[in-house]
Amino acid sequence: MRTPEPFGNYILLDRISVGGMAEVFKGKMFAPDGSAQAVAIKKILPHLAEDRRFVEMFIAEAKMAMQLNHANIAQTLELGRHGEDHFISMEYISGRDLLALHNHFRRTKSLMPTHLVAYVAARVAEGLDYAHRKKDGRGEPLGIIHRDISPQNVLISFEGAVKLIDFGIAKARKRSYEATRAGVLKGKFGYMSPEQVGKGEVDQRSDIFALGTVIHELLTGQRLFLGENDFATLDLVREAQIPPPSVANPNVHPELDRILLKALAKHPDERYQTSGEMADDLERYLHATGNSLSRKPLSDWMSANFQDEIQKEIESNRLSAGIYLEDGRVCYMEIDDEDDDTSLWDGKEARVAAWIDADTAKEHLLKDSVINSKSEEDLAHDLFGETDPQAETNRSIVESAKGVDEKLPIKINAPPENYAVIASRATVDYIQEPAVNNKITRRQIVFTIAIIFMAIICGILAFNATQKVELKQTGIIIQTEPREEISIYINGRLVSEDSPYVEKNIEPSKYEIVIEKPGYQNWITEVDLKEGVIEKIDAKLISDNAIPAKIKLRIYPLNAELYINSNKIEDNNSDKIYEFKGGENVLFELKSNGYEPFSKKIITKANTEEVIDLHMIATSGTLFIDSTPPGDVYLNNKKVGRAPCRPEGLDVNQDWALKIVRKGYKDHEETIRFGARRFIHVEAQLTKR
């Protein structure tokens, strides 16, 4: 942890990250009433602070971000300037971004459960939908596009909150800058949309594609667009050939596949038209699969996977709790607990408050008769060491300490120039070398004799144990159940076809033992045979049919009624594993309104795991209707809503007369025939009369 430093009305505690345009610090913000809260402070890097156009863009876009107030967007608190530093302060999120989660997955060779990924995606989509729809004070849409949805910009708090951050390159429709002119790519190449890297117009649907990329990677643990270089990556984005996430992760449900593939459609017209639609589908999926829409499951998962990080955050908060500002200077309240906690300030175990200005330290000195009895040079040597580069400064502080009635400044591990540490008297006792006492007491003599006596006894016992071992044989006894028609192999050599098997006078070593029997699972173990030991092995073989077949069902639609062997399954969810005996005939049936009845019969195989798709065919259709500009939608002369809208439950065996009406524009009319299709998208461009 870095040395805390004042920064206007803030204290900078530690640098969180640094990028190409800015650096971000964890800090404390102080209100006039003295209360404080943790914040994240983003400062423009010095070389960019001299670029007037960049600073203007930073200020304008920060003002725009300050208008956003949503549960899934990190709140921007202040736009300011301290000296030559332009900065914004934001809500501090105690947690990890999705990039850190990817690193965690690589280390642990694991993935986040699919229902939690869907929950994260729904929350980000809701935050995006709010930003996309945001209007100014006159009721005019701001036309905000984030333009940089990437793993680094999605945070998950340890409490399960999902926050979208960094609208730093977001573009408002009514603002334009040289830095965002045509031909200048902004954002990270692997998380752009095809139109963002091409010549297409970028709108809110570009953010939907980027979110789809982030969630696809979270489901699979693999980069979706990653070429050998930036140009190759851009080519992959342009092509947008997307494999379903279930190809890499069989736990992904077909409905979640569908949602992701729609968000990642190459052409914007084929994607979700709003982030709200994507959020609705994700929440419908979570509800249908019986998963919670609250943050608690995500909070529990974060707590289970980031225990060490959470503990460090708690300790960091404890240490920074006593830091405050006074007249523009960093001051500290002494930490006086009885636990030998590890200080994050200097990496040593010591109960210290923090680094403090040396001039201030002279005003807070500890009275102690032992200290006053020593010379300044001896005391400085005891506390600071002759090799300390600040020894002279420290000696001057010690000289001031003689006879003064408060606290003693000591310095650990060479802090920055002109800094010392305020510590309690207990700390001085802990850090100083213990006094050497040359007087040998009677208790010490008795204790030494006892240690010698115990060593002699232990030596005798060890010798006797060695002698006994030498009298023992080295061997192995193998007993199996069942005993007949078996094959026993030791290091690949067939040694017996019967049980029990006994072999003595074997050389001590490691041996691999394999026992085989037709119709049974191979029994395998490794034995590290020690000298003088007879190793006894009891092997109980397991019949193939005794190991059940495990089957996971992927059902669509999610709310369909499931029957197994004509028995209705009440607790039906996508994560449930069904077990059956090997060779069993199993009948699966699905029933749901608006879909054709479905049945599938299988014969199970013992000791196997498989995923079976049960996919019903809809007997009703759904229309996705949109128009530019929006108009009233009629089907068979009945008004069904205003575009964009989604009429569902339509009879696929009849023709539907579609009409879109808007005053001052020509009516759009066409006939819809479903045929074999069940989902049809209509995009109408209305023309003026």
Task: Identify the residue whose tokens are 């196997």.
Answer: 608
3-class SS shares of the chain: helix, strand, coil, % to 5: 30, 30, 40
Tally of domains in the chain: 6
The predicted pLDDT at position 605 comes to 85
Residue 410 structure tokens: 């000591």
- Can you give 245-279 as a three-state secondary structure string? HHHCCCCCCHHHHHHHHHHCCCCHHHCCCCHHHHH
- Cβ pair 117, 219 in contact under 8 A: yes
Identify the bridge partners of residue 513 per DSSP, sorted by sequence position: 490, 525
Per-residue pLDDT, 201: 81
Q: Which of 114, 439, 473 has its CA nearest to residue 289? A: 114
What is the pLDDT at residue 294?
A: 80
- CA-wise closest residue to 601 among 584, 587, 621, 615: 587
CATH number at residue 497: 2.60.40.1120
Answer positive or negative: Cα dihedral of 54, 59, 63, 68. Answer: positive
Strand order in the sheet with 475-481: 501-504, 475-481, 534-540
> Does residue 510 have a pLDDT over 80?
yes
pLDDT level of residue 379 (50, 70, 90 thresholds): very low
Length of the chain: 689
Contact 272, 266 (CB under 8 A): no
- Which of 615, 647, 677 marks a domain boundary? 615
Residue 324: C-alpha distances to residues 10, 11, 319, 345 (Å): 9, 8, 12, 16
pLDDT over 70 (residue 187): no
DSSP string, 337-375: -SS-PBPTTTSSB--EEEEEEHHHHHTS-B--HHHHHS-
Q: What is the pLDDT of residue 82?
A: 85
pLDDT, position 677:
64
**Residue 459: what pLDDT?**
67
For the chain, percent of residues with pLDDT exceeding 70: 76
State the average pLDDT over residues 408-435: 35
Side-chain-facing half-sphere of 616: CA atoms under 13 Å: 23
Q: What is the mean pLDDT of residues 94-112?
A: 91
pLDDT more than 90, % of the chain: 26
More confident: 638 or 355 = 638
Which among 46-60, 138-152, 315-329 has the top mean pLDDT? 138-152
Establish if 171 belongs to a structural domain.
yes
Encoded amino acid at 371, one letter: I
Strands of 56-151 (E only): list them: 76-82, 85-91, 95-97
Residues 611 and 501 in one domain: no
Question: Among 142-146, 241-245, 374-378, where is mean pLDDT lowest?
Answer: 374-378
Of the listed ranges 269-278, 315-324, 379-388, the one predicted with least confidence: 379-388
Mean pLDDT in residue range 128-151: 88
Q: Are residues 422 and 493 in the same domain?
A: no
CATH number at residue 190: 1.10.510.10
> Position 97: which residue type?
D
The answer on 552 and 594 residing in a single domain is yes
Range of lowest pLDDT (322-326, 516-520, 564-568, 598-602): 322-326
* Tokens standing for residue 301: 């998962």
Domain enclosing residue 41, as ranges:
5-91
Distance CA 62, CA 89 (A): 10
Q: What are phi and psi of 474, to 5 degrees?
A: -110, 120
Cβ 65 vs Cβ 163: under 8 Å: no
Write out the E strands in 375-463. Answer: 408-410, 419-423
Cα gap 148→211, rounded to integer Å? 9
Most confident of the ranges 73-77, 392-396, 542-546: 73-77
Q: Final residue of a domain: which of 565, 596, 615?
A: 615
Does residue 80 share a domain with residue 42? yes
End-to-end alpha carbon distance in the chain? 68
Which pTM does this prediction carry? 0.52
pLDDT tens digits, residue range 481-490? 888 888 999 9
CATH number at residue 588: 2.60.40
Mean pLDDT of 144-168: 89
Establish if 446 belongs to a structural domain: no
Same domain flag for 599 and 536: no
Residue 171's pLDDT is what? 55
Task: For residue 84, give the amino acid letter.
Answer: E
Average pLDDT, the chain: 77
- Band (407; pLDDT cuts 50, 70, 90): very low
Across residues 555-574, what is the average pLDDT?
A: 82
Provide mean pLDDT across the span 233-256. Answer: 91
Sequence letter at residue 439: K
Q: Which secondary structure element, helix H or strand E, spans residue 12, and what is its range? A: strand 10-18
* Residue at 71 is within a domain: yes
Residue closest to 55 by CA, chosen among 41, 45, 66: 45
User: Quick one: angle between helices 114-133 and 275-288, nearest 10?
Assistant: 150
- Spatial distance between the Cα atoms of 72 and 212, rounded to a whole number of angstroms: 17
Cα–Cα distance, 464 to 462 (Å, whole number): 6
In a domain, 456, yes or no: no
- pLDDT reported for residue 331: 76
**Comparison of pLDDT for 339 and 687, the residue scoring more:** 687
Predicted local confidence at residue 297, as pLDDT:
92
Query: Is there a single domain that holds both residue 537 and residue 576?
Result: no
Contact 330, 6 (CB under 8 A): yes
SS3 state at 299: helix
**Are 76 and 152 within one domain?**
no
145 or 413, higher pLDDT: 145
Copy the structure tokens of residue 93: 């999120």
Q: By three-state DSSP, how is residue 191 classified?
A: helix
In angstroms, the CA 550 to CA 163 distance is 38
Q: Cα–Cα distance between 584 and 602 in angstroms, integer?
A: 8
Same domain, yes or no: 156 and 112: yes
- Span 647-673, pLDDT tens digits: 888 888 889 999 999 999 999 999 988
Q: Note whether 243 and 260 are within 8 A (CB).
A: no
Residues 22 and 130 in one domain: no
pLDDT at 636: 94
In the three-class reduction of DSSP (H, G, I as helix; E, B as strand; rest coil), residue 632 is classed as strand
Residue with tokens 């050497």: 436
Q: Does 350 have pLDDT greater than 70?
A: no
- Our separate counts of H helices and E strands in the chain read 17, 35
Tell me: do 123 and 263 sit in the same domain.
yes
Residues 654 and 578 in one domain: no
In this structure, the answer to whether residues 603 and 629 fall within a common structural domain is no
pLDDT at 416 over 70: no
Torsion of CA 107, 286, 156, 72, to 10 degrees: 160
Packed helices 296-305 and 307-320: angle between N→C axes, nearest 10 degrees: 90
Rounded to an integer, what distance in angstroms lies between the CA atom of residue 294 and that of residue 455?
A: 63
Which residues fall within 8 angstroms of residue 63, CB to CB, at 6 or more apart? 79
